[in-house]
Amino acid sequence: MKRSKLTTVAVALATALIAAPAASAGAQNRNHPHLHVNPRWDECSIQLDPSLTQAAWRQFTEEAGLVAYFRPLTDARPMGRGRFEVSLVQWKTGIDDHDAAWNDTFVHPDSTHWLFEGSGLKFPGLTARAGVTARTDVGVYLTKNPNANYGFFGAMVQRAFVGDDASEWGLAGRLSFVSLYGPDDVDFSVIGWDLVASRVFPITRWASVSPYAGLSSYLTRSHEKTAVVSLDDEYVGGSQKMVGAVLELSGVRLAMEYNDARVNSVSLRIGIGK
């Protein structure tokens, strides 16, 4: 297959995988708990219900931290000074929306509009990354559901401890931050630290694959700002393991990552840069 055709197929496949909504109306589920309805928004939105307990609030804090965690979906190699890329990303996390942790923190446009359909809650978004020195990259992340009341923004910095942009082996550390914006009654943020190792395997002169693995630690904070509940702030720490790979086809980069934690995630990225 010619280079141009292979690149076109890869881009089309990755775009199809990523182009899914952050929340959607699923088929009716007879076992689903009673949904809290607010027709103000067309999609499921964050609004705390008076029935929310401290235990459920803590569970939401822990699991939402994993849902929103900034996953750059890249290996340990630095980009190199002056290089950049822009990417579409989507991560899907296998939460259980039957739990009070999710049912009592979201409202729905009608009584049959579940938080998600399928096996997990999906979040699409945009990321941008740039090399600011030979060993240091910075990145930003943004997502917003236009039909709901919430979005997330984040930033990260990655520093290579071993290797540079031309090395086969790499070891890097990442520091990231993500914050919720939009809802009137919730402040929410998560800070993470990743340690990532990777190796590059050339395929052709213009294609390579870079498997990587790593460990993450994180701290999530939640604060309620509404009179309908009286809950203490929650600070929940945890860890997760990651494995992934980056396929680079000239200026196009495709990545997939699996995160093993309390709630597991699968993430995809397609990026274009130089």
Q: How far apart are CA 205 and CA 254, in angstroms?
A: 17
Tens-place pLDDT, residues 239-267: 999 999 999 998 899 999 999 999 999 99
Q: How far apart are CA 23 and CA 49, in angstroms?
A: 19
How many residues are given for the chain? 274
Q: Where are the domains of the chain?
A: 3-273
Classify the C-alpha dihedral 241-181-122-130 as positive or negative.
Answer: negative
Tens-place pLDDT, residues 77-111: 999 999 999 999 999 999 999 999 999 999 999 98
* Concatenated DSSP letters of 51-78: T--HHHHHHHHHHHHHHH-------SS-
What was the pLDDT predicted at 120? 86
Task: Find, among 263, 27, 67, 57, the residue nearest to 180 by Cα.
Answer: 67
Mean pLDDT of the chain: 89
> Could you tell me the CA-to-CA distances from 170 to 123, 166, 177 in Å, in that order?
29, 10, 23
Instruction: Confirm whether pTM is higher than 0.75.
Output: yes
What was the pLDDT predicted at 250? 85
Identify the segments of the chain with pLDDT beneath 70: 1-31
**Beta strands of 182-263 (E only): which ranges?**
186-199, 201-204, 207-224, 234-249, 252-260
What was the pLDDT predicted at 40? 94
Q: Which stretch of DSSP H or E encloses residue 18?
A: helix 3-18
Which residue carries 């009341």 as its tokens?
Answer: 149
User: 3-273 has which fold?
Assistant: Lipocalin (2.40.128)
- Please compute, for residue 84, the number of CA atoms within 13 A of its CA located in the half-sphere on the CB side: 9
What was the pLDDT predicted at 31? 64
Q: Which residues pair with 219 in a beta bridge?
A: 191, 237
- Please compute, for residue 209, the number of CA atoms within 13 A of its CA located in the half-sphere on the CB side: 5
What was the pLDDT predicted at 123? 84
